[in-house]
Amino acid sequence: MIRRKRPVAGVCVLLAALTAGLALPAGAAADEPAGQDAPKVNLLLDVSGSMRAKDIDGQSRMAAAKQAFNEVLDATPEEVELGIRTLGADYAGDDRKEGCKDTAQLYPVGPLDRTEAKTAVATLVPTGWTPIGPALLKAADDLEGGDGSKRIVLISDGEDTCAPLDPCEVAREIAAKGIGLTVDTLGLVPNAKLSRQLSCIAEATGGTYTSVEHQDELTDRVNELVDRAAEPVVTPVATQGADTCAKAPTLRSGLYTDREEFGQQRWYRVELLPGQELRASVSVAADRAVRPDHGVLLRAVTLHGREIVRGEAAGTGRTDVLSTGLRHPKPERDDDDSGKPAAETVCLAVTHSFSAESGVKTTPGLPLELTVDVVDGPHGADDVASFGLGRGWWLLGALILTGFVAGLLWGWLSRWRFAVWRTH
């Protein structure tokens, strides 16, 4: 039996950050998934000795987790392939090296046999250590293959006990593979250290962290995450920007992920046909400790280096994500002998001014997410309204006029009623 205590403190829920990945060939487009492969979910459950504690609605944490799992298994959509992995379920000794190997696939990821899965969950008994890092690596391996969505739902009541394998670093490595895997985490006790660790794991992969203290909260949250896996989503496509526009990958409309080293500039190309305009935005996630002053700059320039438009954002203090965007409208004058706007290449340059704290790893670079939207530009004066209040001013004016008239009528009616009352 492992002898350890976990202090209770406040909960800190952090923002979800962004995923990043390895490069795909230049010109790959971020389209919606084809949907040929079923979504996969791996429930990763802490079965360490501390799960015996009876502080969730009068029952043990393990009993609450079992009840939640049974209800989740009943409600799992048919199209979801679900598996269950445990950590700390088998080794009860004091050998840390052995305890940190204690993770096993309780039920394989695949078509769900509800009876078989429930039977497997019923056998669980709180036992050993809390090897979150090693278990995350194995859980990611369980989900290999296919192009459907992939999600790990980690449920734990304590922080990892197998340092120096840092679960946050493991999560970043998983994100850097570019396999579109999201890790959502749930903490069963309001513990500050646990909250920080589970939040870090979640935000490194674009997932969420939730603190739960009641059995029904646990059931509802896990159900929600499993259902979310079955929802169609736009999967970011991993790309790799270049150090110059000439070498940059050509992107179409879509959502892309990359990683940018500190002090580096990343370039991407977008081809615009006559009459089209470009709208782009970028977000850079601070997935590790950074110094207080930071900024993100997104520039649209020509092949010859002339800046067309820029978007920038800056901040001071702690942040998780910094975002900015720009709009490059279609040409306003004719650019060729035909009297029509010419096609053009727009170079997008992304620069950030984050700097790492002393002793913090600088590789891999910070994850960035780039959204590219190429649309038909407005064709006349009437279309200008679609980019701002435009026609909305007519509605606003009508509402103001209506309110003014209503106020006059109400005031006149009130004075008339008061005059009638005085005469009687």
Q: What is the architecture of the domain spanning 237-379?
A: Sandwich (2.60)
| Distance separating alpha carbons of residues 366 and 46, to the nearest angstrom | 30
| Distance separating alpha carbons of residues 208 and 121, to the nearest angstrom | 24
User: pLDDT of 193-229, one tens digit each?
Assistant: 888 899 889 888 888 888 888 989 999 989 988 988 8
- The whole-number pLDDT of residue 4 equals 35
- The whole-number pLDDT of residue 116 equals 96
Any idea how long the chain is? 424
**What pLDDT band is residue 383 in, cutting at 50, 70 and 90?**
very low
User: pLDDT of 31-79, one tens digit each?
Assistant: 444 445 889 999 999 999 999 999 999 999 999 999 999 999 999 999 9
CATH number for 40-230 (one of 3.90.245.10, 3.30.70.100, 3.40.50.410, 3.40.50.1100): it is 3.40.50.410
**What pLDDT band is residue 237 in, cutting at 50, 70 and 90?**
confident
- The whole-number pLDDT of residue 219 equals 92
| Ranges in the chain annotated CATH 2.60.120.380 | 237-379
Range in 125-134, 260-269, 335-344 the model is least confident about:
335-344
Phi, psi (degrees; rounded to nearest 5) at 291? -70, 160
- Number of Cβ within 10 Å of residue 206's Cβ equals 22
> pLDDT above 70 covers what percent of the chain?
79
Q: Which of 2, 193, 197, 198 is nearest to 96 (CA)?
A: 2
Specify the pTM. 0.54
| Distance separating alpha carbons of residues 211 and 218, to the nearest angstrom | 9
| Distance separating alpha carbons of residues 285 and 262, to the nearest angstrom | 12
Reading the block at residue 383, the tokens are 């279309």
E strands, 212-318, in order: 237-238, 254-260, 265-272, 276-285, 293-301, 307-316
How far, rounded to the nearest angstrom, does the alpha carbon of residue 325 sit from its chain's CA centroid?
A: 18
Q: What is the 3-state secondary structure (H, E, C) of 8-64?
A: CCCCCCCCCCCCCCCCCCCCCCCCCCCCCCCCEEEEEEECCHHHHCCCECCECHHHH
- The whole-number pLDDT of residue 204 equals 85
> Is residue 173 pLDDT above 80, yes or no?
yes
> Is residue 246 pLDDT above 60, yes or no?
yes
| Distance separating alpha carbons of residues 153 and 40, to the nearest angstrom | 11
The position carrying tokens 């197998």 is: 162
* Residue 367, burial from CB neighbour count under 10 angstroms (0-12, 13-18, 19+): buried
Rounded to the nearest 10 degrees, the angle between the axes of helix 114-122 and helix 61-75 is 180
Average of per-residue pLDDT across 168-191: 87
| Ranges in the chain annotated CATH 3.40.50.410 | 40-230
> Is residue 420 pLDDT above 70, yes or no?
no
